[in-house]
Amino acid sequence: MTHSPTRIELVCPAGSLPALQAAVDSGADHVYIGLRDNTNARNFAGLNFDAEAARQGVRYAHDRGVKVLLAINTYPQPGAWERWTGAVDTAARLGIDAIIVADPGLMRYVSRTHPRLDLHLSVQGSATNYEAINFYRRHFNIRRAVLPRVLSVAQIADVIRNTPVEIEAFGFGSLCVMVEGRCALSSYVTGESPNMTGACSPAAAVRWEQKPDGLESRLNGILVNKYHDDEQAAYPTLCKGRFEVGGASYYAIEEPASLNALELLPELARIGVKAIKIEGRQRSPAYVAAVTRVWRRALEACTHYGSGFTPNPAWLADLRAVSEGRQQTLGAYYRPWK
């Protein structure tokens, strides 16, 4: 199957109505949101949308030609199936353009109950090959698949060559050392799985304490990090904590870093990637606006210049200013030894 280079769409996060408006105003083609419960994988207090805010957001986006996607991408728990099907029904009632789903049972419900509602396979579904993606298309008619951030560009190209399903790839944002949120570390420490409750390091387990020698962050009582006065404190997750190992204190599992695939845009366009996804529903409207503006300009420049595209240094500086940690990476996309 061949794909000709096309205009890449920009899919941006929104954890609130102001963030949605910022994404729309800054150039997003799609905005993805979640409801205020554990049906979505960013289930934090003060985040996400109730039905009225979602209705306002859909109206705001649609009036400006932008589509809205609803993430229902956690796995339904026994005894609470109706909460997840209710979220799907809400999406259909609000005129959501597509839902992002990971659970096959929920996909079946959508395809049978709301066949006109487009289905996007969530990154939480961990489909890393075209056979898996084609399986979901054959049985549930998924239109788009969001690829996990574990594939090289060559591997993404192989997927695209062998499926008619649109492929969406992450372009910018925080990385996860686990398999796209299937986190044993958070579950081990807090007793709550991100794929079930929708939150990595749930807020109820997080504690901050100012000590004479720095600010401590704890997760369910476990010391995760200690920050000096000149350091910027990050939300505590076990994978990005600093620990004493062999007499030294450092990021023993994963050093905080942001994915930034801006320089790969011509290659991603050439192989047929349909959309670039920006991570960050937990981030502020200012973050959403800044990142969306940069990627909108970059995508337009890439369409104009093709293989001659190079990132503007000012864009890179703007993205560094909102990155997690002190470094950026191409992640798994760039693996020249493979």
Evaluate whether 150 touches 332 at the Cβ level (below 8 Å): yes
> 77-111, pLDDT tens digit by residue?
889 999 999 999 999 999 999 999 999 999 999 99
pLDDT at 116: 94
> How far is Cα 267 from Cα 334, in angstroms, rounded to an integer?
11
- Does the model's pTM come out above 0.85? yes
Fold of 9-175+257-333: TIM Barrel (3.20.20)
Evaluate whether 41 touches 198 at the Cβ level (below 8 Å): yes
Domain ranges of the chain: 9-175+257-333, 200-251
Expressed in angstroms, the distance from the first to the final Cα of the chain is 23
> How far is Cα 38 from Cα 51, in angstroms, rounded to an integer?
15
Using CB atoms within 10 Å of the CB of residue 148, give its burial: 0 to 12 exposed, 13 to 18 middle, 19+ buried. buried
Q: Which two tokens stand for residue 315?
A: 């864009």
Tens place of pLDDT for every residue, the chain, 338 residues? 444 456 899 999 999 999 999 999 999 999 999 999 999 988 888 899 999 999 999 999 999 999 999 999 999 988 999 999 999 999 999 999 999 999 999 999 999 999 999 999 999 898 999 999 999 999 999 999 999 988 999 999 999 999 999 999 999 998 876 666 567 788 888 888 777 777 778 888 889 999 988 899 999 898 989 888 887 777 888 888 888 888 888 888 777 778 999 999 999 999 999 999 999 999 999 999 999 999 999 999 999 999 999 999 999 999 999 987 667 888 888 766 55
276 three-state secondary structure: strand
Using CB atoms within 10 Å of the CB of residue 188, give its burial: 0 to 12 exposed, 13 to 18 middle, 19+ buried. exposed
Residue spans of alpha helices (H) in 191-284: 194-197, 265-271
Angle, CA 122 vertex, CA 186 and CA 9 arms, to 5°? 125
pLDDT at 336: 63
Strands 222-227 and 214-219: antiparallel
pLDDT at 300: 96
pLDDT at 327: 75
Angle, CA 66 vertex, CA 65 and CA 68 arms, to 5°? 140
pLDDT at 2: 45
